[in-house]
Each structure stands twice: as structure tokens, then as C-alpha cells.
Amino acid sequence: MTRLDFETSDDEIQQLICTLDSLVDGEQAAEQLIRLGRRVVPAVERFLLTSRPRSISVPRCRAVRVLGALGAYSSLIRYLRENVRPGDAAILFAEDAVRSAAARELMRHESPATFKVLLDAVKQRATSGLVQALSQYRSPESVPTLFHLLEDDLCREDAKEGLRGMPQAAKAYSILLLRGLTELPVRGSNAARRRRATLQLLVECGIYMNEWFELRAVLEDDDLDCLISAATLGLRSAPPTEMPLIVTALIEASAGMNWAQETEAVELLDKWPLLARQSAKEIRARHETRGEKPNWMSPFWRILHHILGHEMAEKEPDTPNSL
């Protein structure tokens, strides 16, 4: 023990803990508590576990930092186990910051028990720090939970990063999810966000040729972001016999695309010019047989013009020169 440790009374330690609330001296109080060593752990733990959560998270985050710096990981595990979700929204979001801080401190204390506590805490209410700490373990057991979080706007990117660390397990679960063979829903607005993120992950890690047939149905997805991702996967990995189907599905779906989706579709089609031209001719012929005229406000007709160029101009003298 240092001389400072011997000379500091329990009352003075309690006063330092109370000072964690201070905007001016709070950080200095935290540093002093760390310098005092492990004798302060019981008092700091008591403050974290028994003090009432508030709408300002900073004092409790400072307490977490003190416990982490002193290696009091059992105190942080106990906090995550015993934490009760506040009913007030402002206090709830503040306590999320404390739980994130505790999880990040526990990243220095890997163990099966810590993993279980983190997994349970994420299932109760996910935060960025909890997801990051859980992902550090790269455990297949966490894969379903991370996929569930792909619908969460606040945790999606952290969940995706965690899944990138387990590419084989993530790919296998992705294919099952998109086929509707997991416990996670595949329809609804939240499910659509999950499907988009899942397909983005598959685009990053790639698929084998034989796996394409398990994903082929996504070309009929109502969500155009999902369809474009499926087309990207197919044009990279599907058998040659599947390419006309993929290109045709992409062009036919383009009528409902926004500007960003149209740009992405054009970039994909430009990589397959001969195939795109053949499909575009067939599609254009079908639409003209039905008596349809080009509508340059529609991405569908603009994409046809982009692919066929002067051939469209010869039939329609008022066509634009470029997209």
C-alpha cells in the first residue's frame, strides 16, 4: 500500500465517490480512487449496484471505469447480472451507456462466465458496447442473437462487424435465414432490414456456385435492395445458365427503383454488356408488343436506353442522349 492509501479514511473514500457526480472534479476523483487501489472496490461497487440510476450516466460510467482499472471484473459481472431496466426512457438510455461501459471493461476479462453474462445482457437489451464485447468471443452460439440485432438501427453495424469475424458460421446462418428456416421472421419492416443486412454480408463474403440455388428466390423479393444484392451475388457466382434469368429480373424490377438503386443496377449490367443487350432487346420487344411507349421518367426505360443506346434512338427520335 502507498502512504496515500494508509492515510485515506473510509469517509474520505466515500467523499471521493460522491465527487464522481461533479462536473468539475469528477474525473480527478475517479483517478484518485484508482490510485488508492483495491481497498476502494467494495465502496465503488456499492455505489454502482445500489445507487439509483439517473438520466445522467457520467458518474456511474466513472465508477465502472474505476472498477475496470482495478480489475474488479466480478463487480462488473454482478452489475450486468443484477441490472434492472428502468421504466423512464431518459434514464433507460443513460443506463445503456453505463452497461456499454461495463461491457467494454469486461473485454479485458475473457471467460466462459463473462461470455454468458454478456449474451444474456444483449438478449435483455442490446447496446453498442455489449455487442462489441460479445463479438470478441467469435462464438457460433452468439450468431442467432447477432442476426436478430440486424433489425436494430443502433446496433446493426456492430452486429455486422461481429458476424464478419465468423464468416463461415455467418454465411451458413444467412442462407438458412433467407430460406425462412430459422426462428427469425422473414417478413415485415424489421425483417426487411434484417434481410438487406444479411444479403450485404453475403455479398462481402461471397457464395459458392451450388449455394446460388438456395438464394435464387430472393430475385422475386419485393424489397429492391434485397433483389439488387441477390443479383450481385448471382452475377458473381451463379452458373452461366442462370445469368439470363438474373439480368432479366434486374431489368424488369427497375421500374420501381430510386436513383441510388438505378445507379447500382446500371453498374451491375455494365459488367455484362452482351448479356444485358440480349435481355434488353427481348424485354423491349415484349413491352412494345403490348403497345407501351418509352417513358423517360421511369428508370426502366432509362436503363433500356442505356443498354441499347442508338437502337432506342432510331425508333424514338426524342430519346435523351444519355442517362
The pLDDT tens digits of the residues spanning 13-65 come to 999 999 999 999 999 999 999 999 999 999 999 999 999 999 999 999 999 99
Number of domains in the chain: 2
Residue 265 forms part of a structural domain? yes
Which residue range forms the structural domain that includes residue 79?
Answer: 1-108
- Asked whether residue 230 is domain-assigned, the answer is yes
Q: Give the residue from 108, 126, 161 where a domain finishes.
A: 108
Question: What is the pLDDT at residue 3?
Answer: 47
How many Å separate Cα 218 from the centre of its chain? 20
Backbone angles phi, psi at 188, to 5 degrees: 105, 165
89-106 vs 128-135: helix axis angle to the nearest 10?
Answer: 20
Predicted confidence (pLDDT) at residue 149 exceeds the cutoff of 60: yes
Q: Specify if 31 maps to a domain.
A: yes
Q: How many other CB atoms are there within 10 angstroms of residue 296's CB atom?
A: 13
* Mean pLDDT for all residues in the chain: 92
Does any domain span residue 152? no
Residue 173 lies in a domain: no
**Stronger pLDDT, 275 or 296, i.e. the higher one:** 275
Q: Is the pLDDT of residue 182 over 60?
A: yes
Q: What angle (nearest 5°) sits at the alpha carbon of residue 120, between those of residues 118 and 121? A: 65
Confirm whether 40 is domain-assigned: yes
pLDDT over 80 (residue 262): yes
Helix H segments across 253-309? 259-270, 273-289, 299-308
Q: The cell 421511369 sits on which residue?
A: 298
Domain boundary among 79, 108, 137: 108
Specify if 179 maps to a domain.
no
Mark which of 108, 135, 150 sits at the end of a domain: 108
Q: Is residue 103 part of a domain?
A: yes
pTM above 0.85, yes or no: yes
